[in-house]
Structure 1
Amino acid sequence: MRLPALALFCTLLPGLAAAQAVVPPPSPFPAPSPAATPSPAPPEPPCDPAKSPDCTTITANKQEKIDAFHYRATGFVDLQFGDIRIQTDQIDVYTTVHPDGTESKRIEASGNVVFLRGDERLAGEKLAMDLDTGRGTFENAIGYMQPGVFVEARRIERISADTYKIEGGHFTSCSQPTPRWSFSASSATMQVDDHISATNVIFRVKAVPAFYIPYFMYPISHDQRSTGFLMPHVGYSSTRGYSVGGGFFWAMSRSFDQTFYADNYSLYGHGFGHELRYMLKSPSRGTFRSYFIKRIDGGWEHDLAWNAVQMLPGQARMTVYVQESSTFNFDQQFQENLDRALTRNRRSSVSLQKTFFGLTAQAVADSTDTYFDTTDTSSFDRRRHLPSLYLSMAPRKLGKKTGLVFGFDSAAERLQKGNEERVDDYKRFDVRPQLSRPFSLSFLQVNPSVQVRETHYDASLGGRNGNKLVGPPLDREYFEGSLDLRGPTFSKVLDTPGNFYSERYKHVIGPEVNWTYRSKVEQFSEIPRFDWTDTVLGTNQISYALVQRFYAKRPGRSGKLEPYEFLNWRVGQTYYVDIADGQNEFDPNYSSAVFDANGNPSHLSPIQSRLRLKPTNAFNTNFDMEYDLNFHAVRSLGLSTNYNGSRFVTQLAWSRGKRLDQFLQGVNRNTMRGSAAVFVLPRRLTLQGSVAYDLLNKEMIQSTARLRYDVQCCGFIVETLQSQFRQDRQYRFSIELANIGSIGSFMGDQPAG
């Protein structure tokens, strides 16, 4: 007959030798009624180990006292203390009395020992543990350690609640009987929910040894930001040769991290990269990426990409921006981002901004150098603010009853402009107050405004060709008045019961008219040209457009039907009353200037059409066109489409231009660029690609393809890039293991994964 299980509850295991109570069998005869006696007090409920760290409970089929300091429990033993639970076939409890009278207890468990703590599960042949300190040793153990690491070891020593030392261990994050990957180590230290640092490491694919490294740090943090080495990548480039690269990620804190990179290119040299990132309370955040290459011939190249925003005491806002490389040729060789590869600029800036009493003050220092030679940086065009001070006030109402709106901009700037032969240094002071009085009716919006502008230059253009900054100081003054009309608008509602998209549509149509008069700018040819501020001409022009908007009743975020604008079409043009100074040449609203058949500026700008289609939040299309009435020709076309779905993401842009310069010479372009990502199997197989194609010359500029395959505990990435303009083909392969990121191209769109 099986004995009933004995449950013994105690604090720090006192009284483990208490005798098991024996329950007598029931009598076949009823017992006499006893005399009335007081009811005994109910027994004190046992303590709860989950609530009290000093509480220990043990349940077993049998227990015995070996001696005064040794107790033994056998048969389905279940021991709980604190957040730890141990289940085993047999457990021995040893009590040690110290000279000061205190006691400590030690256990030895054997035979199918199971150790449980939170998500941790360890099973082994033997376990010895000190119940007071929690330190213990497992023999021939196997199990699961949070978060998501399977371990098998000859010996596991528990140092503390979060630290284990492991000898002869095997580790993996794969749950298959034969894991897809694993690594073994002669010794290792595991910090729970942080990392594993191991020595004499052998990586295995399935059961086949792949490679050996003397030291390895494996991150096992829940937030995937543990310090450790990143998986290396290998690749090939027809211009750089075979490459191999690796990196180390340092999680400094929840808000700061650094990544260190190292690459080797067989035909080019050695690369070293560093990236520092931080993210504090919004909007404070920054990324500082630096990459250096030592060429085989001994020279050095570099690329810097720094961008940071930081809030300072007193609600001041500081921004830093640096984008530069040693040579344009280096950018073409290494930049996989096509826009960056074709950029010929070095840009850097730092600014400090603060708002007070409704005013915004800003100090800016920046530099932009444009280079024209791919290898020589001595030929350049330079623009610099050293520094500039700005004070402005956004338009705001003057009182509640007047309806007047006032704002102003002002600047005090020290400027540098020039090239490798000469750099001019001069000052510019500018102030521009603006006053408007908007009127709004149910069908019409009217906004008249006036402004005056005063600009002082401490030098002007002069010399024999009028292109040197040798002239006397110059003051530019002008007055500008404008009238903006929007409306009247007309609308019509269409009911379409049973329509697949919406059961009610609304069409709204109305004109937009803007008249601008600006007094003539004297001595325009003597004004030094630094930026758009210096290209303002006197004008008298009228811009007019017809705008159509289409709405549909669609379910909103709350599920209720709401008006949703799915189509917007604007067709407009500008008529220049004054054209003697080529006003339309400096109009930023159009992509090209317009001339008549004789090469003179035209009164009419191109007809501009802008169509925006957005049937859903996931899909939108923009179509822009400019049509030249003087030559009856389309000057520019642009089409862009974006779709962001759960299984498919794409971006497509096509632009075609045919404009004339002032000598009636055609300048053409016809390019197409696009990218797409297809989630063939969600969370398993992803295909990505991009293309840039020159339709005019019928040649591929650049194309990329990327295949990513993810399984339960690892991912495989294959990438290729073909670039026509730099005559290069690249192939790259990398592996991602669970909890370990991989390194992509440091100079690509996604340098690290």
Structure 2
Amino acid sequence: MRPPMTAGPISRNSRFLNLSVEFCCSPGAASALPLNAPRKATAIRVVRRALNKYFISIPHAQGPASYPCRLASRITFIWKGQPTLCRDRRAAPLRRFTHPQFRQLHSAPPHATSSVHLPSNLCDPMLGYAPASLDRMLRVTRHFCARTLSAPRLRFFSAVLFAALGCQYGGSAQAQQVRAPAGKEAVAALEAKTQSRKGDITTADGEVDIHYADTRLRADHVEYNDKTQEAVATGHVQLDYRGEHLEAAEAHYNVSTGHGLFREVRGTFKVERQPNAEILLTENPLYFEARSVERFAGDLYLVHRAWITICDPSHPKWQFYAPDARIHVDRTVALINANFRLFRVPLIWLPYATAPAGRKVRESGFLIPDIGQSSRKGFILGDAFYLAPVPWLDATFGGQYMSRRGFQERGSFRAKPFENTSVEYTYFGVDDRGFLNPDGTRSPQGGEQQRLELQSLLPRGWRFVTDYNQLSSLTFRLAFADTFGEAVNSEVRSAVFFSNNFRGFSLNFAGLNDKSFLTLPVAATSTTPAIPATSVTLRNLPEARFGSVEQSPWRSVPLYFSFDSFVGAVHRSDMQIDTPLSVSREEFTPRVTVPVHFGPWFGVTASAAFRSTRYGDSLDSAGLVSGTAITSNTGEFTVELRPPAFERFFERAPNKDKPRRKYKHVIEPAVAYRYVTGLNHFADFIRFDSDATLTDTNEVEYGFTQRLYRKDGDNQPQELISWRFVQKHYFDPTFGGAIVNGQRNVFQALDSISPFAFAFGPRNWSPIVSDFKITPGGHYDLEQILQYDPQIQRLVTIGTLLKVKPYREFFATVAHFRLNDNPALSDLPARPPPQLPLFQQPLSNQIRALAGYGNETRKGFNFTGGVGYDFTNKTLQNQIVQVSYNGACCGLAVEYRRINLGQVRTENQFRVAFIVANIGTFGNLRHRDKIF
């Protein structure tokens, strides 16, 4: 800074101009400083050049900021119009003052003066910034060393000065502003109506506003220390940091470290949650009130005497109260000695509780206890522990005590250690005492089930998949399954395979296990012995398969080759057959295919295959395992005819609201002939899987498919309706002697057209199958399957599935299935075929219906009701009613469920759940399952 100027000698003809100018820094956002600095620096340079032109030198401060954002000025002009006496040149120089007494002691004229003042508060040095000040006595004289200040130049100078200070920095006298140093990367800016400074402490009053990086602190009164960067604020204190907002009566806060203490606090935290179809979510922030709050760096808050909710704070439906709580923003909320209150009424006491408060949050700890009552299980009390040690792994271990049955254990494990690898394991078991029988004995129904799922994509195209399922007994599943659909599933399938597909080839190493439960065990009585449960187990382990798709070695010749082969060990166990654990089996099947097209309208595809199979074991004439190997060599020939399709187009002209719409109706006929020979000893083969159901056949399949397409404007065509008619004619009604009269026969030639057994003796004709679908993809979908058996001359299968969604959130689903392929004497046609055998097959006639409005997480009223009825046995198998209401922050759900599984289980269930948004449910209705 240049040294202060002093007044020179005064002569009679001298005129004096006293100009006092002060520049002070104003608070502003630190981030805005670099953007405005060049423009404001230019303005300052203009003012300085104008002043220097008239012998006025304005030094400026060198502080952490290059240029002030705004200038608060104090300018005083003292114009002396009369000549004055000359002062001795040796007189002591005038000292520089910034206090008002300067004008009293050194500017008071000996006679009348004319003064013009622009009043302002003094801008004392504060916050480490040295203000730029100038109090000068400037001489304007005709001395040969001085310039003459003419009236026009004085007016020009005054205009420039006022324009720069008044227009460019207008309004600077409205509020005191100061910018404080706060390190290299951030600048603290303070703005208030009045300010004062004493040492390192700045005292500000009236709408105090402090900005520091992303932090904003407001209050009525603030004492700020520029060295420690601590602020003591009182009166309407408000702190804003990103999505965090605090309001307090007083605060002691460090704007640099983020640590602070607050009293009488109200706050909100914005919580972002990942969408979840099973949890009610809300956009409301997390709201809390507390006696005192201590904030730490890293968005951690220690809250004392806290009330926490996400409801409307003026009328909260639910709240958590805790003497001590820890809130980690965007992570978790931990409560100590907390209680949950509904409409301010305490309901649940929790010694320690945690809740998610972020988008992806998992926290280890005990879950909400499960308490309930059941007529079959008695009093129920249970809990579970959730473990999440690392982000890619979690586990749940829990149990329940059932006063009438025993103990129940549950467990689950999930992990994703790598991007393309996932593991999931679940376990459920019951140690059941059983109900007390009249004779004093008990019949326990306990057991266990478990499932392991593993998927992994390995390098070089390899893929490993495991789906392992284990069930101890069907009785256990019927007695303790949570839903009706799970209880009636009597099949347990497991698979493990390691595969790779490359250049049209496929290599697989697999292990398969399929267990089907057939009957339940029957307890012994005084007159009858006990009958054990029956099941069928089929196992292929280990097994290796290698094959290829159809490939042509020549581009110009339509000749394609492919093959399938496998080698492995198989096993079967049922009531009549129990093979060794490993029965060897090998097969090799080469195939050649020739497609021929006669113009664009007709195509023929012929294929021939040779199949060679060897089994290490077989059945003897009595149907028992003999231990003798058996080999079959079969030849297969297939011809598919594709006649030309018939098409017709329809068009609807466009109008104002609808675009042009086109329709296309297509009729596609198809004929296929298949011939298989070489299986002369079908009865000797053990049925390990579908590969062992191949028989001799000489058949033709014919039918047609009708399709209706719709196209709107330039969109892709959409299939609206499809209707398929198909039937088979068997030239060999006994399938090479494989048919057995009076029993269900399941062959590849039969189940390829219908999944239901229909051959109980020799057959020349299969049922006529009609598959009708309407799939507009909008308000409704319909599918109906009909099977007409020409041998007994009636419909044997009727299956209907209807889905409708006519209005907004309303939906309904109806499924009806009827199977009647068991003719009684009264049902036989007047002239039955001579080869019609009498047979018995279980009948089935069931209906399922489900209707509702809304869904589990929809705001407002939601309803779902369903029923399952068996017309054959006249039994209401399943019934469910769910009613819920979801508000902005919570909801209530009530469910009634009835399960009727005969003598094993008949149960009525009532469940209630209070739903807390973003957290979960309180009650015994954890997952509101539907019928199907």
> TM-score normalized by structure 1?
0.87
SS in 1 for 2:619: strand
SS in 2 for 1:437: strand
* Whole-angstrom distance in 2 between the partners of 1:682 and 1:732: 20
Tell me which of 781, 785, 802 is aligned to 1:620. 781
Query: What are the equivalent positions in structure 2 for 1:184-263 lying under 5 Å apart?
Result: 184-223=321-360, 230-232=367-369, 234-250=371-387, 255-263=392-400
* Whole-angstrom distance in 2 between the partners of 1:123 and 1:27: 42
How far off is 1:164 after superposition?
Answer: 1.1
How far off is 1:591 after superposition?
Answer: 3.6
Which residues of structure 1 form unaligned runs of 5+?
Answer: 96-102
State the aligned residue count: 729
Please give the per-residue CA displacement for 1:520-556, whole angstroms capped at 9, x wherever unaligned.
312211112111111111111000002111122336x
For residues 77 and 142 of structure 1, do their structure 2 counterparts lie closer, same or farther at Cα, with a shift above 3 Å needed?
Answer: same
* Whole-angstrom distance in 2 between the partners of 1:51 and 1:513: 85
* Whole-angstrom distance in 1 between the partners of 2:659 and 2:783: 20
SS in 1 for 2:600: coil
Tell me which of 53, 58, 74 is aligned to 1:22. 74
Match of 1:480 in 2: 636
Please give the per-residue CA displacement for 1:277-308, whole angstroms capped at 9, x wherever unaligned.
34688875443221233335799632213333
Please give the per-residue CA displacement for 1:566-586, whole angstroms capped at 9, x wherever unaligned.
111111110000122356852
**1:113 matched to 2:233:** no
Match of 1:731 in 2: 910
Query: What are the equivalent positions in structure 2 for 1:57-72 lying under 5 Å apart?
Result: 57-66=189-198, 68-72=199-203
Match of 2:553 in 1: 398
What is the letter of the counterpart of residue 395 of structure 2? Q
What is the letter of the counterpart of residue 583 of structure 2? Y
**1:590 matched to 2:747:** no
Please give the per-residue CA displacement for 1:354-405, whole angstroms capped at 9, x wherever unaligned.
2234322111123333344546987543222221111121233433222223
* Whole-angstrom distance in 2 between the partners of 1:380 and 1:174: 55
Match of 1:315 in 2: 461
Q: Is the 8 A contact 1:231 1:736 kept in 2?
A: no
Please give the per-residue CA displacement for 1:406-455, whole angstroms capped at 9, x wherever unaligned.
32221111111124784423111012222212245533332211111110
What is the letter of the counterpart of residue 172 of structure 1? T
SS in 1 for 2:513: strand
Q: Is the 8 A contact 1:449 1:483 kept in 2?
A: yes
Match of 1:433 in 2: 590
* Whole-angstrom distance in 2 between the partners of 1:404 and 1:620: 42
How far off is 1:671 after superposition?
Answer: 0.9
Please give the per-residue CA displacement for 1:190-244, whole angstroms capped at 9, x wherever unaligned.
1111111111101111111112111111111124656565555554433223435
What is the letter of the counterpart of residue 196 of structure 2? E
Match of 1:685 in 2: 861
Q: Is the 8 A contact 1:240 1:267 kept in 2?
A: yes
**1:173 matched to 2:310:** yes
For residues 198 and 340 of structure 1, do their structure 2 counterparts lie closer, same or farther at Cα, with a shift above 3 Å needed?
Answer: same
Q: Is the 8 A contact 2:911 2:925 kept in 1?
A: no
* Whole-angstrom distance in 1 between the partners of 2:711 and 2:778: 14
For residues 676 and 409 of structure 1, do their structure 2 counterparts lie closer, same or farther at Cα, with a shift above 3 Å needed?
Answer: farther
* Whole-angstrom distance in 2 between the partners of 1:254 and 1:49: 40
Tell me which of 702, 709, 723 is aligned to 2:885. 709
SS in 2 for 1:7: coil
**Higher strand proportion (structure 1 or 2):** 1
Please give the per-residue CA displacement for 1:507-531, whole angstroms capped at 9, x wherever unaligned.
2113110000111312211112111
Q: Is the 8 A contact 1:504 1:553 kept in 2?
A: yes
Please give the per-residue CA displacement for 1:39-68, whole angstroms capped at 9, x wherever unaligned.
99999x9999999842111101111123x2
> TM-score normalized by structure 2?
0.71
**1:575 matched to 2:699:** no
Match of 1:565 in 2: 719
Q: Is the 8 A contact 2:651 2:661 kept in 1?
A: yes
What is the letter of the counterpart of residue 642 of structure 2? R
For residues 36 and 186 of structure 1, do their structure 2 counterparts lie closer, same or farther at Cα, with a shift above 3 Å needed?
Answer: closer
SS in 1 for 2:683: helix
Backbone CA RMSD of aligned residues: 3.8
For residues 157 and 27 of structure 1, do their structure 2 counterparts lie closer, same or farther at Cα, with a shift above 3 Å needed?
Answer: closer
Query: What are the equivalent positions in structure 2 for 1:249-328 lying under 5 Å apart?
Result: 249-250=386-387, 255-278=392-415, 284-295=421-432, 301-328=447-474
Match of 1:695 in 2: 871
Match of 2:27 in 1: 8
Match of 1:90 in 2: 221
State the identity as a percent.
Answer: 23
Query: What are the equivalent positions in structure 2 for 1:332-731 lying under 5 Å apart?
Result: 332-372=478-518, 374=520, 380-419=535-574, 422-424=578-580, 425-440=582-597, 441-462=599-620, 465=622, 467-497=623-653, 503-554=661-712, 560-580=714-734, 581=737, 585-586=746-747, 587-588=750-751, 589-594=753-758, 600-617=761-778, 619-643=780-804, 646-660=808-822, 663-679=838-854, 683-725=859-901, 726-731=905-910
Match of 1:100 in 2: none
* Whole-angstrom distance in 2 between the partners of 1:108 and 1:27: 36
User: In terms of mean alpha carbon deviation, does 675-684 or 407-416 score higher?
Assistant: 675-684
Larger CA Rg, structure 1 vs 2: 2
* Whole-angstrom distance in 1 between the partners of 2:451 and 2:805: 28
* Whole-angstrom distance in 1 between the partners of 2:630 and 2:923: 54
* Whole-angstrom distance in 2 between the partners of 1:479 and 1:391: 20
How far off is 1:249 after superposition?
Answer: 4.6
Which residues of structure 2 form unaligned runs of 5+?
Answer: 1-23, 32-62, 78-115, 119-150, 170-176, 272-284, 435-443, 523-531, 740-744, 824-836
* Whole-angstrom distance in 2 between the partners of 1:305 and 1:605: 40
Please give the per-residue CA displacement for 1:605-661, whole angstroms capped at 9, x wherever unaligned.
111111111123553211111111122111111111234675133332211111149
How far off is 1:69 after superposition?
Answer: 2.9
User: In terms of mean alpha carbon deviation, does 30-39 or 705-714 score higher?
Assistant: 30-39
* Whole-angstrom distance in 1 between the partners of 2:725 and 2:668: 11
SS in 2 for 1:8: coil
Q: Is the 8 A contact 1:233 1:734 kept in 2?
A: no
How far off is 1:723 after superposition?
Answer: 1.2
Query: What are the equivalent positions in structure 2 for 1:130-145 lying under 5 Å apart?
Result: 130-145=254-269
Q: Is the 8 A contact 2:238 2:248 kept in 1?
A: yes
Q: Is the 8 A contact 2:511 2:540 kept in 1?
A: yes
SS in 2 for 1:712: coil
User: In terms of mean alpha carbon deviation, does 687-696 or 495-504 score higher?
Assistant: 495-504
* Whole-angstrom distance in 2 between the partners of 1:175 and 1:154: 20
What is the letter of the counterpart of residue 577 of structure 1? F
* Whole-angstrom distance in 2 between the partners of 1:46 and 1:402: 89
How far off is 1:476 after superposition?
Answer: 0.8
Q: Is the 8 A contact 2:25 2:178 kept in 1?
A: no
How far off is 1:502 after superposition?
Answer: 7.9
